[in-house]
Amino acid sequence: MAPSSTPLERLAKAGVAVWLDDLSRERLRTGNLAELVERGVVGVTTNPTIFATAISAGDAYDDQLRELAGTSVEDAVFRITTDDVREAADVLRPVYDRTDTQDGRVSIEVDPRLARDTDATIETAKKLWATVDRPNVFIKIPATVEGLPAITAVLAEGISVNVTLIFSIERYGAVLDAFQAGLEQAAANGHDLAPIASVASFFVSRVDTAIDPLLDEIGTPQAAGLRGSAAIANARLAYGLFLEVTASDRWKALAAAGAYPQRPLWASTGVKDKAYPDTLYVDELVVAHTVNTMPEATLEAVADHGGDGSDTVTGTQEAAESVIARLRELGIDIDDVTRKLEEEGVSKFTDSWDQLLAKVDEGLSGAAAQTAPDAR
């Protein structure tokens, strides 16, 4: 009798690409990332918070900090992060080749302080792409108003993009438009569309984190019944828009030219409220042609007791619309909530970037002091 499949295998069979929302040099050096790939992880996402945490923990970066002593802190951060992403991309390259360029991807983010600067975002994205110099990398660009034209321009150069910090259906529609415009321009520029990949990172748990306290303040049974439902409903509506766009004549023309769809990527899938199942934002968003990037704790929870891999999204559009309508009846406008979440998201990543700069600066200063003549 054949052994039963694991939860991660069931997700893969359902068309969900399992990615890890974490990266560190320690994970690379110990072979942990390679082990996770063997278990079914087929991609990696990073962000400023992840790098700040990685550099703050242990001594894995000490040698490179000594090597970079005397370098500006911005240049040192650029070198450290691109080195890690390049090495991770090499670990995942067999997955990239096996999945016809769709998975085996590693994401690296443009400096979040540039989120409102279109031109600087474009130039930094090009520099990151050239420096990492691996085909299986995504350059992360936030879905701010200023980021949208940058997404189009970078894709037009043949650069793969992970669009991050998407919270609202309206903004997601603009992202899908920017993606298609970028591919159209790339084709006009003579690029092969097949290797130009993109995912749209739609943030999930933060929506419930913002809306649940508002429901608690209302305090009615109707409000209590909506706790933990907004984020999943919002994501399911996003998937409905994805299906609508990929059925359009505009997309069909791009697909005929060799393009792959911009898959929805469920981000922020770690459960913040312990009252909810720890696999909630994975089990309730199982559907084909998606990515779920998980922090390690969520990944291990799913591997241990995840669902059966059944599609939990198809056919839920009406119910999802009902959730959003009932929130509005209670005075909660999800558009206002998601607008604030975008602003907070940019601010949080900027704060994390500042923490990363401070930590690297501290390491550079310590390395310089150790090598100074009077330190001997």
The catalytic site residues sit at 140
Q: What is the 3-state secondary structure of 143-193?
A: CCCCHHHHHHHHHHCCCCEEEEEECCHHHHHHHHHHHHHHHHHHHHCCCCC
Cα–Cα distance list, 276 to 227, 241, 280 (Å): 10, 27, 7
- Burial of 317 per CB tally in 10 Å (0-12, 13-18, 19+): middle
Give the whole-angstrom CA distance, residue 289 versus residue 99.
13
Residue 201, helix vs strand vs coil: strand
Give the whole-angstrom CA distance, residue 25 versus residue 32.
10
Residue 237 one-letter amino acid:
L
On the CB side of 115, CA atoms within 13 Å amount to: 22
Phi and psi (nearest 5°) for 115? -60, -25
| DSSP characters over 271-313 | ---TTS-TTHHHHTT--SSEEEEE-HHHHHHHHHH-------S
Cα–Cα distance list, 216 to 194, 224, 327, 328, 334 (Å): 47, 7, 12, 15, 16
Give the whole-angstrom CA distance, residue 142 versus residue 72.
25
Residue 176 one-letter amino acid:
L
Cα–Cα distance list, 223 to 107, 208, 212, 299 (Å): 38, 13, 9, 30
| DSSP characters over 313-345 | STT-HHHHHHHHHHHHHTT--HHHHHHHHHHHH
- b/e for 37-57, b at 16 or more Cβ within 10 A? beebbbbbbbbbbbbbbbbee
